[in-house]
């Protein structure tokens, strides 16, 4: 019978050798076993004191982790599954991919400043239970301002958004940016990213 060519333990045959082989093949069988063992455990360079129960627990843990990963992949709280609207805006026109957003308008508020009105293509799903402009813990809004030189101040800088209103049909956002004297001023035509998600 030919000597096994096993690379890993699971490739070794329990019924081999069967006893009728030439005694000269004994060293070949021993080398095959050594190869399979060392390649199956390449990082074992010290005594392993784990009990069979310990090793079985690792297998159980791996199955638990796989189950958890599968569960997490099917749930995305407040972002993908419950995403209501999103837009990336460069300061003067809508750019990137939008989700349920028709336009971004800069509405004149008087007193020398404007705020951004992000208009939704369809209203908040549970709009009948929400009052215009009412803070609602079930709606998560994230606005990130980006530095851009084509804003109303004419130069890039640190800017901060403030959500002034949330309506079923739109969100209103005001921006401030530090001027050349370090004083914060109302600014418009700001670049920003908006995400609106519903918890319920």
Structure confidence by residue, pLDDT tens digits, 185-199: 999 999 999 988 877
Strand bridging mode 83-89 / 191-198: antiparallel
Determine the average pLDDT of the residues in 83-106.
83
Helices (H), 96-163: none
Tell me what pLDDT residue 116 has: 94
Which of 1-5, 27-31, 94-98 is most confident?
Answer: 27-31
**Range with top average pLDDT, 22-26, 77-81, 170-174:** 170-174
Strand, coil or helix: 158: coil
Task: State the DSSP string of 32-98.
Answer: HHHHHHHHHSTT--S-----HHHHHHHHHHHHHHHHHHHHHHT--TTTTTTEEEEEEE-SSSEEEEE
Please report where in the chains the tokens 């079930």 appear, as a residue. 138
What per-residue confidence (pLDDT) applies to 68?
61
Supply the pTM of this predicted model.
Answer: 0.56
Q: What is the pLDDT of residues 14-31, one digit of tens each?
A: 777 777 777 777 777 788
Q: At 8, is the pLDDT very low, low, confident or very high (cuts 50, 70, 90)?
A: confident
Question: Is the CB of residue 196 less than 8 Å from the CB of residue 78?
Answer: no
């Amino acid at each position: 019978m030919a000597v096994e060519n096993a690379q890993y333990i699971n490739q070794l045959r329990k019924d081999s050798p069967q006893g009728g082989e030439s005694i000269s093949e004994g060293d070949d069988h021993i080398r095959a076993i050594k190869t399979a063992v060392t390649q199956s455990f390449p990082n074992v360079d010290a005594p392993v004191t784990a009990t069979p129960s310990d090793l079985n627990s690792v297998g159980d843990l791996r199955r638990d982790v796989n189950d958890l990963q599968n569960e997490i992949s099917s749930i995305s709280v407040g972002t993908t599954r419950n995403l209501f609207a999103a837009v990336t805006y460069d300061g003067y026109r809508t750019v990137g991919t939008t989700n349920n957003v028709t336009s971004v308008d800069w509405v004149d508020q008087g007193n020398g400043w404007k705020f951004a009105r992000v208009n939704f293509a369809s209203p908040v799903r549970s709009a009948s239970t929400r009052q215009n402009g009412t803070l609602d813990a079930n709606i998560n809004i994230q606005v990130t301002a980006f530095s851009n030189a084509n804003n109303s101040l004419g130069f890039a800088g640190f800017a901060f958004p403030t959500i002034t209103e949330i309506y079923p049909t739109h969100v209103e956002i005001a921006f401030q940016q530090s001027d050349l004297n370090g004083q914060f001023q109302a600014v418009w035509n700001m670049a920003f990213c908006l995400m609106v998600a519903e918890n319920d």
